[in-house]
Amino acid sequence: MRYFVHIGYNGLHYNGWQKQPGVLNVQGVLEKALTQVLKTPVFIIGCGRTDAHVHASQFFFHMDIEQTWDFDLLFRLNKLLPANIAIFDIIAMDGLQHARFDAVQRSYDYFIHTYKDPFLSGLSSFYLLEDLHFDRMKQAVEILPNYKDYRPFCTSPDKYEHTICNVMSANLAVDSAGDKLRFQIASNRFLSKMIRIIMGQVLKIGKGVLSVDEFESYLVNKQTPALITPAHPQGLYLSKVTYPYLNLPPRTAFSSILQKQTDLSWKTL
């Protein structure tokens, strides 16, 4: 029987999702807990791979279990797992749906705060910046859905069969005080460090060291910037994963300070 498992995690202390020897990773922690509770080796496949220190307010993985259980698996797993990983739902699937390959849209949020705040540390990226050119940053973000080939904004494009991404939406918002930023982007797929590289370029535009035309020229000419500086990882969240047969709202926002979608203090630029 195949099951989809709906989870969320704070990735600050993990070396990403993917299981790797010798480092702490989310996949390895989950497989160890599932194996311990179900008393049989369990291997899982995630909906994607998040980088080290990146969070997921919504994430899915699938697993195949031969025998059903006669106890509250959700309760036992959440009791065993560390506080920074939560299981929200365990969903029996009718068939062999695939958590990674069947996803039709993934949405990410990237948060920045421009003043030192101990309560945002680890949940948002701190950049000590003043007088950002929000209008130019907005222009750059708005052109993203017009392009498909994101080879310029990838650290290792040659490892992919292709670098085409169907970016469906992208927007930038700022809070009423002008000292917190939220970048949101949705696509069918993303390349290695793509969002953090884009955000690094947008910050350069905000500081006035890169023009919007130069930014767009990378996409037009499929030319990688001479200097790639990805934005910090801890401000990035995988926030929504959508399937043709499964479209659940996220169960957590990690920080109400950051991610209140109905908070009127946020204004889309």
Q: Residue 211 burial (CB < 10 Å; 0-12/13-18/19+)? A: middle
Tell me whether residue 51 is one of the annotated catalytic residues: yes
Q: Residue 167, Cβ neighbours under 10 Å: how many?
A: 19
Is residue 64 within 8 A of residue 31, CB to CB? The reply is no
CA distance 145 to 18: 28
Is residue 113 within 8 A of residue 182, CB to CB? The reply is no
Q: Quick one: which of 50, 48, 53 has its CA closest to 13?
A: 53
Alpha-carbon separation of residue 261 from 73, 82, 113, 117, 221 (angstroms): 31, 27, 17, 21, 36
Half-sphere exposure of 63 (CA within 13 A, CB side): 20
CA 234 to chain CA centroid, Å, is: 10
| 236, β-bridge pairs | 110
Catalytic residues: 51
